[in-house]
Amino acid sequence: EKVGSDEAKAIIESNRTRLKSYQSALRTFCRSEHCPAGVRVELIFAVLDSIKLEASKRFQVENLDFVLQLICCGDQLTELLLETLSTEYFRYVDVTYYGLKSLSQLCTKLKGNKSAVADVEDTIC
């Protein structure tokens, strides 16, 4: 039985690695200036949906950060993204807590240091 358990762990780890690669590719394509608007919309929602893909106690922080950054940049989809986050994701306490904490930190950076605004925009937009 130990062998079966080791094989299961290896498969789980392999799937986790593939999932991370998939999510990274989604975020990369969303950032591309060559990505058509319609495709970008679908990619952003795939990023949101992939927050739920890993069945563990930890949600996908990197994907939530990415979507929050799009919202802060005044992305054309801001209203739709906010609505989707509030109705589908912010009902989970951990996602809400982390999301609000992340937004608070970003606002503090922007408020405290005017030169940080350009740095933040370059980093997240």
Report percent pLDDT > 70 for the chain.
76
| Predicted local distance difference test score (pLDDT) of residue 53 | 64
Tens of pLDDT, residues 52-101: 666 555 667 778 888 887 777 766 667 777 888 888 888 888 888 888 88
DSSP the chain: -HHHHHHHHHHHHHHHHHHHHHHHHHHHHHH-TTS-HHHHHHHHHHHHHHTTTS-SSS--HHHHHHHHHHHHTT-TTHHHHHHHIIIIITTSHHHHHHHHHHHHHHHHHHHH-HHHHHHHHHHH-
| Predicted local distance difference test score (pLDDT) of residue 83 | 83
| Predicted local distance difference test score (pLDDT) of residue 1 | 47
Do residues 31 and 73 lie in contact, with contact meaning Cβ atoms separated by under 8 Å?
Answer: no
Is pLDDT of 111 > 70? Answer: yes
Q: What is the mean pLDDT of residues 106-122?
A: 63
Tens of pLDDT, residues 3-54: 568 888 888 889 888 888 888 898 888 888 888 877 887 888 888 887 766 6
